[in-house]
Structures are given as C-alpha cells and as structure tokens.
Amino acid sequence: MVRRLRRLGYLLAFIIILGLTCHLLGSPWLGRQFYPFYYQEEISAAAAEQQIDPFLIAAVIQTESGFREDAVSSEGARGLMQLLPSTAEWIATKTGESDFHPDKLFEPGYNITVGSWYLADLLRQFNGNEVIALAAYNGGRGHVQRWLEEGVWDGSEAGLAQIPFSETRTFVQRALKNYRSYRDLYGEEN
C-alpha cells in the first residue's frame, strides 16, 4: 500500500511538473527571459522618428551587444548598437550634430537614436529590404552594394550562404531570428 501511494505521489508530481513546464514553454514569460526588451521607451521613440519597426531595432541591439550599453567590439564599435566612432561621426555630420564625441556612444538614448538613424538610412538605400539592410549594417554598405551589383549575393534570406563575410552571414541570421522572436513575444497580440 505504501509503495502504491509513493508511486501515485511520484506520478502526480511528474504530471504537475510537466504541466507547469508546458505552460511556461507556451507562454511569452519564458521567451521574454531570453529576449529582454530593455530601453523600450528609447527604442519606441527612435522607431517612431525613423519610421521603422521597434522590434528590428531591438533585434539589432540583442544581436550586437545583448543590451550591454558598455559593450566594445574588437574593432572599436561601441554601445548597444555597436557603432564605430567613425560611422557615428559621419551620422552626426549628416544630421547636423555639432557636439559629437565618441564617448556619447555609451549613452543608451544617444546610441539608439544614432543607430536607428543609420538602420533607417540603410533601409531607405535598399528599398526597405531588411535582409540587405542588416547585412549592410554589419558588413558595410559599400561591400553589400558591390555584392549585389556583381551578383555575389542575390540579397535574399534564402541566399545568405552567398555572403562572403562569415561574420556578416552569422549576424544577419541571428538578427533575423531575434527579430522574429521580438515580434512574436512583444507584438500587440501578446
């Protein structure tokens, strides 16, 4: 009898744990632990100003820095959206900013504003094609333009294997995956 009760207790505990696990896996709560959406206010403001999807900005940040505002790459890219100081200085010139300093790239609001402007500029250049814009964000617009013109890459997600830079290929794959996850987890229906 005791053995039977013990087995029943184990079975009941297993069913409860299985039920909780299934519930958590089906709910956005667990996914949001892996895909945090920090700086929502700053991202939403920049997205509205640049007329781009805030989830695309969040995906770039997640891919580039994992939302670490103090991130610095081996190439010297800084902050949440991993902007090179030279790129940020070029953007400052284009936008009429007169007090640019590379250390401003560690300020989340500034980095998101500048990075979103750059992403929107790439989207405009490449006719709203997010796959191509993401490749240019990582690999440089000149390289991507040349790949497209020379037929090295067709600009499609299906053709990502054609991208000559493995870092850019990986970046675009991860950014697109993150983009879909952010839309699924934080979209209006959730």
64 is catalytic: yes
Catalytic residue among 41, 42, 49, 64: 64
- Cα 4 to its chain centre, rounded Å, is 52
How far is it, in rounded angstroms, from Cα 132 to Cα 50? 18
Tokens representing 16 are 């409860």
CA distance 186 to 37: 8
Distance CA 87, CA 4 (A): 70
CA distance 149 to 88: 26
Q: Active-site residues: which are they?
A: 64
